[in-house]
Amino acid sequence: MDRQPLDLFIIGGGINGCGIARDAAGRGLSVALAEKGDLGGATSSASTKLFHGGLRYLEFFEFGLVKSALKEREILLKAMPHISWPMRFVLPYSADMRFDAETQTSRLLSWIMPWMKGRRPAWLIRLGLFMYDHLGGRKILPATQTLDLRVGPEGAPLQDRFEMGYEYLIVGSKIRFW
Ligand SMILES: Cc1cc2nc3c(=O)[nH]c(=O)nc-3n(C[C@H](O)[C@H](O)[C@H](O)COP(=O)(O)OP(=O)(O)OC[C@H]3O[C@@H](n4cnc5c(N)ncnc54)[C@H](O)[C@@H]3O)c2cc1C
């Protein structure tokens, strides 16, 4: 039996453990991984397999987290173009939509614009998407676009109050363990 010390011993074979093992092995380190059940058998088996970049964390002012998630998304898209692809998302907007009251953005807005009562001005959503477009040094995916939902197929199944929306791209993947 080989008794050489390892560079890295990883406990847990979910996407994080396996991803770290792959990355470390790719850098020439000797790696072992212990999994108590099955590889990818826990939380990772339930994932929708999107490299989303963490748009919703902007609500919590987690700018560093979103920046690193967006950078990682570009890296993954380049590293595995055969099993990842851009996916178009349309975010409908209506001025009367209400958002989670427990986020940092909600707290700040209730202080400076108390009359909004959980709603978001369109410019704020656009600002969030602008940051999402630029925080991670995006090179591959196109930037967010504003859509007129009164025309075109995107708005057809929606209520009339959704007159505009935003189109942005995230990345879907075929990463599977089974
Ligand atoms: C419904 C759903 C959808 C999601 N969609 C997305 C998405 O689209 N995009 C995205 O980025 N994230 C998504 N997530 C989040 C993502 O799935 C998790 O963040 C990720 O799977 C966590 O991976 P992990 O390796 O940290 O944990 P896990 O997958 O839980 O792996 C931990 C592993 O460690 C093992 N383990 C624990 N203790 C020990 C021990 N003592 N010894 C040996 N092994 C041990 C467990 O058996 C398990 O296999 C989603 C989550 C859910 C629930």
In a domain, 79, yes or no: yes
Q: String of b and e for 60-82 (b: at least 16 CB within 10 Å)?
A: beeeeebbebbeebbebbeeeee
Give the pLDDT confidence of 93-145 residue by residue, as tens digits. Answer: 999 999 988 999 999 999 999 999 989 999 999 999 999 999 998 888 999 99
In a domain, 132, yes or no: yes
Give the whole-angstrom CA distance, residue 137 versus residue 59.
20
Q: Which residue's alpha carbon is at the smallest distance from atom 26 of ligand 1?
A: 16
Question: Would you say 98 and 119 are in contact if contact means Cβ atoms under 8 Å apart?
Answer: yes
Give the pLDDT confidence of 148-162 residue by residue, as tens digits. Answer: 999 989 999 999 999
Q: Which residue's alpha carbon is at the smallest distance from atom 45 of ligand 1?
A: 12
Are 32 and 53 in the same domain? no
Whole-model pTM over 0.85: no
Q: Domain range for residue 28?
A: 1-47
Beta strands in the chain (DSSP E): 8-11, 31-34, 50-51, 84-93, 145-148, 164-173
| pLDDT of 178 | 47
Q: Which two tokens stand for residue 134?
A: 């630029």
In a domain, 178, yes or no: no
Q: Does ligand 1 have an atom closer than 6 angstroms to the CB of 4? A: no
Q: Does ligand 1 have an atom closer than 6 angstroms to the CB of 54? A: no
CA of 111 to the centre of ligand 1 (A): 37
